[in-house]
A and B are shown apart, each in its own frame.
Chain A
């Protein structure tokens, strides 16, 4: 079974700073998919970014980018120019190839607080 570990339960940074959230995972699969989801205080889970393991290039979405290190099984999320609206729980998630057999496996989450 896959496991996802987020080692930072909470982080706090000033607005406009850059912040990096860590995620490591364990799997014996060679192809898989990784996600970062954001869950603001309103509770609606929103996709931030998606990475396909067979792609070497790191995914980016505007101010959000990942550092995907397949050999190290690491998938960190970098948020540039952080904004107050980035305050949320951030979950790293893993999905194996072959469908939703085990659903998404989530880490415990990192509570990110952006201070004004």
Chain B
């Protein structure tokens, strides 16, 4: 069975530009989570989608947004890129049965903002 996939693997953008990252969950998983792994800041929760709806977001500005499609795949959009947005963006998927389900991670998208 295929795992979580993410595209692209690497991206280089300049400050002020916009970027879209994509994630395909494991088949049967309805929840998709996005995390930012920035150097020195560790892994931080960005967004949670389940059944096509945004369920919660972490402490990030509104220029971080996304959506989940009917096939449960997801996009993360970042507008007005700043240098500090340079990070590894990880997507994870899981079933949702009330909490505590294991999240399975994709390989990540490495974003560099110049």
Contact = CB atoms under 8 A, between A and B. Distances in A.
B66 to A, nearest CB: 13
Nearest to A93: B43
A98 to B, nearest CB: 5
A47 interface: yes
Contact of A101 (B43, B56, B102): B56
Interface stretch (B12-20, B74-82, B88-96): B88-96
A100 B105 contact: no
Majority-rule SS of B interface residues: strand
A100 B56 contact: yes
A100 B91 CA distance: 13
A13 B108 CA distance: 29
Interface residues of B, number: 28
A50 interface: yes
A24 B16 CA distance: 39
B58 to A, nearest CB: 7
Contacts of B52: none
A64 interface: no
Interface in A67-116: 91, 95-109
Contact of B48 (A50, A52, A101): A101
